[in-house]
Amino acid sequence: MDNHWYVGVDIGGTTIKMAIINTYGEMITKWEIPTNVEDKGKHITTDICKAIFMKMDELNEPKSKLAGIGVGAPGFINMETGFIYKAVNIGWTDFPLKDRLEVETGLPVVVDNDANLAALGEMWRGAGDGAKNLLAVTLGTGVGGGLIANGNILHGVNGMAGEIGHITSLATGGAPCNCGKTGCLETIASATGIARIATEMVNENTDSELSAILIRKGKLTAKDVFDCANNEDNIALQVIDEVCFHLGLAIANLANAINPEKIVIGGGVSKAGDILLRHLNKHFNLYALPRVAEGAEITIATLGNDAGVIGAVWLIKQKINK
Amino acid sequence: MDNHWYVGVDIGGTTIKMAIINTYGEMITKWEIPTNVEDKGKHITTDICKAIFMKMDELNEPKSKLAGIGVGAPGFINMETGFIYKAVNIGWTDFPLKDRLEVETGLPVVVDNDANLAALGEMWRGAGDGAKNLLAVTLGTGVGGGLIANGNILHGVNGMAGEIGHITSLATGGAPCNCGKTGCLETIASATGIARIATEMVNENTDSELSAILIRKGKLTAKDVFDCANNEDNIALQVIDEVCFHLGLAIANLANAINPEKIVIGGGVSKAGDILLRHLNKHFNLYALPRVAEGAEITIATLGNDAGVIGAVWLIKQKINK
C-alpha cells in the first residue's frame, strides 16, 4: 500500500494554489499563497518550498512522506525540462522552474501547462470519469483547452497543443483577439465574448430584460445573459444560441478529428450548466459525424479550481511510477 | 542485427497491395492481387496467405524469415482485436480479420485503418521525415486523414479519429456529402469537390480556358483545374484559392489544437504540388497561431501508393518489438 503524499501547485499571476493529495487523488489539505512577482519572480520557488515544509510541520508529518511535486504554470514551457521560456504575468524569462524546485525541495518535480493539468485532473477525479480520450474546454475570461489522448496530454511539437480558443470561428469580420488574429473562438465563447455579443444584440433590439440591466448597470456580463435566458428572455436565448453554434461547430470539427469520449466544459461560463449544455449539444450533434457524436459525451467540469492541482499530482505520480 | 522481413498488406475494394519490407523500411518487393469479394469476402485471407508464401518461394527464402504482417483495411475496425465490424466495399460484416490471418499464416498480425497507416508510412519513410507529431491529409475522391501524436496513431474512443474530411467548412448552404451532412471539407477539397466548384464557377464566367475544356470534354477534373492554373487561367486560380481557403482554415484550426510538426498532403490532388502548397500555406498562415505555424511544415507526400504497406510494416514491427 502506497502511503505517500504528493504536492500539487498551480501558479497564477496573483496567487499560487497549493494542495497535498494522497495517492488516490484525495485532498488532504489545500491552501493559497500570494505570487511574489518581485525581482522577476525569482523568489517564487523558495516561497513554494517554505509553504510545503511549513504545511508538513503543521500536519505533524515528516517530509519523507512526500513523493513529488506537480506544478502547473502559465506561459511557454518546455514540458520535458520544466524550463519556462517566458511567463509574462509572473515575470519569468528563461527560468529553470523544475530544476530550482528540485534543488530547493529535494523532491522530483514535473511542470506542465495549467490548462493541460486541469484536463488531467478532470480525467482522474472529475467529470472525465477516467475517460482516456478527453477534450477539456475552459470558458473563462479567455478560452483555453487541454487534450488527453490515450491517457496522455497532447503537447504537440512545441507545447502549443490545446489552443482551441484560437480556432477561427469567423474567417472574416470577426472581433479582434488578444492573439493578434480576428474572429477566434475566444472572441465569442469566453465570458468577455458573450458579454460583447449580448451588448451588440441589445443595442439592436431593446425589447429585452438584458436591455434594462445594461441601462441600470452600464454593462452586461455573461452571467446576466444566462440568468435572463433562464427567465426565457428572447434576446438572451439568441445570444446563447449564437455562442453555442460557434462553440458546438468548433468542438464538433475537432471531435471529428480526435474522436474524444468526454468533452468537459469548465471555467466560469460553465456554471450556466444545463442551459449551456442543451444549446451546445444541439449544435454539436448537427456537425459531428453520427459515430463521433455517439462516442462523445459533453459534460460540465466538476473540480472547479482544484482541477489544476489534482492534475498536477496525477502527472508527478505517473512520472514517478514509470 | 535484425534480418527479419515483414509483410505489408493494403486491402482495397478492387485490389490488395502487398509488399515485403525489411526492418529498415526498405522495399524488398511489392505486388498486387485482385480483391475477391465473392461469398462476402471470406476467401480474402486465404488469398493473402497464399500470395505471401508463393512470393517467399519465388524469392527462395524460408517462411521463417517473416516476422509479422501489418494490414490496412477500410471500414469500421476494432484496432485492438483486428475485428472488422463492417466494410461495405469488401462485403465483410463482423469479420475477424486479424484472427483468421494469424491462424492461416502462423504469423502475428496487426490491423488498422488504411488512412492511419498511410500517415505512419509517411512518418517513417516519407515526407514526415521522422516527425512524431504529424497530420496526414489525403485529397482523393474523398478527403481522409490520419493523426500521429507522440509517434502513435490517434484512434480516439471508437476508432473514428482522423475523419477530417467531415470537418464542416460551410455550416449553411454547403453541398451534400456522402456522410449525410452538408458542407463537409470533403465536398470542397476532394478531387470531386474541386471539379464541382470549377464547373459552377465556369458556368458563371465563361471567359476561361476551363470553359473551353468543359465544352470539349463535357466535364472538368481537378487535374484540368491545376493545369489551367499553371497557365495562369484566372478562373482556375480562383477555384484553387477558394479550395485552399477552406482547406487551409480547417488545417490551421486543427493545428491550433494538436500542434503538429509536419502536415503531409497526399492523394491524387497532391500531385498538383507547388501551386497547391503555395495557396495552402497562404491561408494556413492567416489562421494558425504564429508559434503553431512556425512549428509546422506543410509538405507533399512522397510515398504515393506505397505509404499504406510501409506504415503497416512499421506498426507490426513496433508491436512485435514491444
Q: What is the mean pLDDT of each run of 10 residues along chain B (322 residues)?
A: 91 94 96 95 97 97 97 91 90 96 98 93 93 94 92 92 96 94 97 96 89 94 96 96 98 97 96 96 97 96 95 96 84
* A133: chain B residues, CB-CB within 8 Å: 156-157
CB A250 within 8 A of CB B140: no
A219-266: pLDDT as tens digits: 999 999 999 999 999 999 999 999 999 999 999 999 999 999 999 999
Say which of B171, B180, B253 has its CB closest to residue A168. B253
A161/B254 CB distance under 8 A: no
Give pTM, 2 decimals. 0.92
Question: How many residue pairs bridge chain A and chain B with CB atoms within 8 Å of each other?
Answer: 145
Say which of B254, B259, B286 has its CB closest to residue A158. B259
Amino acid at B310: I
Say which of A156, A253, A259 has its CB closest to residue B160. A259
Question: What integer pLDDT is reported at residue B150 of this predicted model?
Answer: 87
Q: What distance in Å separates residue B72's CA from the closest CA in chain A? A: 19
**Hey, is A142 helix, strand or coil?**
coil
B287/A245 CB distance under 8 A: no
Handedness of CA B203, B205, B206, B209 (dihedral sign): negative
A133/B152 CB distance under 8 A: no
Reported residue count of chain A is 322
* B291: chain A residues, CB-CB within 8 Å: 76, 158, 160
- Pairwise CA distance, residues B113 & B159, whole Å: 8
- Pairwise CA distance, residues B40 & A174, whole Å: 52
A259/B147 CB distance under 8 A: no
- Pairwise CA distance, residues B166 & B157, whole Å: 17
A166/B289 CB distance under 8 A: yes
A253/B256 CB distance under 8 A: no
Nearest alpha-carbon partner for A308 in A130, A115, A33, A131: A115
* B292: chain A residues, CB-CB within 8 Å: 156, 160, 163
Question: What integer pLDDT is reported at residue B129 of this predicted model?
Answer: 87
A259/B157 CB distance under 8 A: yes
What is the DSSP code (8-state) at residue A66?
A: E
Say which of A152, A157, A259 has its CB closest to residue B161. A259
Question: What integer pLDDT is reported at residue B1 of this predicted model?
Answer: 60
* B249: chain A residues, CB-CB within 8 Å: 168, 171
CB A128 within 8 A of CB A146: no
A181/B254 CB distance under 8 A: no
B252/A168 CB distance under 8 A: yes
* B166: chain A residues, CB-CB within 8 Å: 256, 289
A256/B167 CB distance under 8 A: yes
- Angstrom CA distances, B303 to B26, B92, B118, B234, stand at 12, 28, 9, 32
B112: Cβ contacts below 8 Å, ≥ 6 apart: B70, B71, B72, B73, B77, B79, B153, B312, B315
Amino acid at B5: W
In chain B the domains, ranked by start, together with CATH numbers, are 5-120+306-321 (3.30.420.40), 129-301 (3.30.420.40)
Amino acid at A134: L
* A289: chain B residues, CB-CB within 8 Å: 160, 163, 166, 179, 181
Over chain B, what HEC string results?
A: CCCCEEEEEEECCCEEEEEEEECCCCEEEEEEEECCCHHHHCCHHHHHHHHHHHHHHHCCCCHHHEEEEEEEECCEEECCCCEEEEECCCCEEEECHHHHHHHHHCCCEEEEEHHHHHHHHHHHHCCCCCCCCEEEEEECCCEEEEEEECCEECCCCCCCCCCHHHCECCCCCCCECCCCCECECHHHHCHHHHHHHHHHHHHHCCCCHHHHHHHHHCCCCHHHHHHHHHCCCHHHHHHHHHHHHHHHHHHHHHHHHHCCCEEEEECHHHHHCHHHHHHHHHHHHHHCCHHHHHHCEEEECCCHHHHHHHHHHHHHHHHHHC
Q: Residue A23's CB: how many other CB atoms inside 10 A?
A: 15
Q: What distance in Å separates residue A124's CA from the closest CA in chain B? A: 17
B160/A295 CB distance under 8 A: yes
Say which of A160, A163, A295 has its CB closest to residue B157. A295
Amino acid at B136: A
User: By CA distance, what is A182's nearest residue in B?
Assistant: B287
* A131: chain B residues, CB-CB within 8 Å: 157
B157/A249 CB distance under 8 A: no
- Angstrom CA distances, B212 to B202, B225, B234, stand at 9, 12, 14
Q: Residue A88's CB: how many other CB atoms inside 10 A?
A: 11
B163/A257 CB distance under 8 A: yes
B171/A252 CB distance under 8 A: no
Question: What integer pLDDT is reported at residue A204 of this predicted model?
Answer: 87
Long-range contacts, B35-41 (Cβ 8 Å, 24+): B35/B11, B35/B90, B37/B13, B37/B89, B37/B90, B37/B91, B40/B91, B40/B92, B40/B93, B40/B95, B41/B87, B41/B90, B41/B91, B41/B92, B41/B95
- Angstrom CA distances, A264 to A127, A129, A142, A297, stand at 7, 10, 16, 8
Q: Residue A163's CB: how many other CB atoms inside 10 A?
A: 26
Say which of B154, B156, B168 has its CB closest to residue A249. B168
B157/A252 CB distance under 8 A: no
- Residue position matching grid coordinates 499563497: A33
Q: What is the mean pLDDT of each run of 10 residues along chain A (322 residues)?
A: 91 94 96 95 97 97 97 91 90 96 98 93 93 94 92 92 96 94 97 96 89 94 96 96 98 97 96 96 97 96 95 96 84
Q: What distance in Å separates residue B285's CA from the closest CA in chain A? A: 11
- Pairwise CA distance, residues A122 & A174, whole Å: 32
Say which of A152, A160, A295 has its CB closest to residue B259. A160
Question: What integer pLDDT is reported at residue A207 of this predicted model?
Answer: 86
User: By CA distance, what is A261's nearest residue in B?
Assistant: B157
